[in-house]
């Protein structure tokens, strides 16, 4: 079955952006970037990947989910148009290539996507959408940057107490100080 994978950059104190959506403090140079380009090329905005000569084969992801704030902060009409893009909002609309804005319940949308054939589904973020989709997340790929923000948008927005176990699949430390950790949900037997 297709997996929902939350792949995101996070600080040591658990933030994915500053309080006003700032993300310029996440370094975009270093050996971890080569790994992003090599393994996670599907998560690079379409035009940017083309300018870098990165082939996007949709081998890992063929669909991306974004909350409205995540979509809006990028300022692009159709940032990942090599993927099927689904943006969640109850108040906004937008039109673009391979882009759909929906006010449907995200968990229902994910369950429907999982019942279809395809590659994995990338949960891009942000924290609020991730909170509403937490029970559906099968895998986490966290890019942990050696930074403290002090304040900002958390990896998961507020949700009720509900422990869920994951097991570590791999951890890779880069010379840049960034650590990629992958976790898979432990399903009860």
Report the interface residues with ligand NAP, using CB under 6 A: 8-9, 16-17, 21, 23, 67-70, 73, 88-92, 103, 106, 124-129, 132, 153, 157
User: What distance in Å separates the CA atoms of residue 98 and residue 79, rounded to the nearest whole number?
Assistant: 10
Closer of 82 and 101 to ligand NAP (Cβ) = 101
* Nearest residue to ligand NAP, scored by beta-carbon proximity: 126
Least distance (Å) from ligand NAP to the CB of residue 135? Answer: 12
Instruction: Provide the 10 A C-beta neighbour count for residue 13.
Output: 12
Least distance (Å) from ligand NAP to the CB of residue 156? Answer: 9
Residue 183's DSSP bridge partners are: 140, 168
Closer of 79 and 127 to ligand NAP (Cβ) = 127
Q: Edge to edge, what strands does the sheet with 61-67 contain?
A: 99-102, 84-88, 61-67, 120-125, 4-11, 139-145, 179-185, 166-173
Encoding tokens for residue 169?
Answer: 């699949």
Cβ neighbours of residue 102 under 8 Å, at least 6 residues apart? 86, 87, 88, 89, 109
Least distance (Å) from ligand NAP to the CB of residue 117? Answer: 25
Encoding tokens for residue 164?
Answer: 């869920």
Residue 179's DSSP bridge partners are: 144, 173
- Region for residue 177 given its phi and psi (left: phi exceeds 0; alpha: psi -120 to 50; beta: otherwise): left
Place of tokens 């893009």: 85
Closer of 2 and 123 to ligand NAP (Cβ) = 123
User: What distance in Å separates the CA atoms of residue 30 and residue 132, rounded to the nearest whole number?
Assistant: 33
Least distance (Å) from ligand NAP to the CB of residue 163? Answer: 21
Closer of 41 and 106 to ligand NAP (Cβ) = 106
Closer of 91 and 115 to ligand NAP (Cβ) = 91
Least distance (Å) from ligand NAP to the CB of residue 15? Answer: 8
Closer of 103 and 186 to ligand NAP (Cβ) = 103
Least distance (Å) from ligand NAP to the CB of residue 26? Answer: 7
């Amino acid at each position: 079955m297709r997996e929902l994978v939350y792949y995101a950059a996070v600080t040591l104190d658990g933030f994915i952006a500053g309080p006003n959506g700032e993300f310029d403090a996440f370094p975009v140079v270093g050996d971890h970037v080569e790994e992003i380009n090599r393994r996670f090329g599907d998560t690079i905005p379409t035009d940017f990947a083309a300018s870098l000569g990165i082939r996007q084969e949709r081998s890992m992801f063929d669909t991306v989910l974004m909350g409205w704030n995540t979509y809006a902060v990028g300022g692009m009409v159709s940032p990942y148009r090599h993927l099927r893009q689904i943006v969640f909002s109850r108040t906004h609309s937008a039109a673009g290539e391979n882009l759909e804005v929906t006010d449907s319940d995200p968990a229902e949308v994910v369950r429907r996507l999982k019942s279809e054939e395809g590659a994995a589904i990338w949960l891009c973020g942000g924290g609020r959408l991730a909170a509403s989709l937490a029970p559906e997340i099968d895998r986490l790929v966290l890019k942990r940057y050696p930074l403290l923000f002090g304040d900002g948008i958390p990896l998961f927005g507020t949700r009720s107490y509900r422990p869920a176990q994951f097991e570590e699949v791999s951890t890779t430390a880069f010379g840049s100080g960034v650590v990629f950790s992958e976790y898979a949900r432990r399903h009860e037997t």
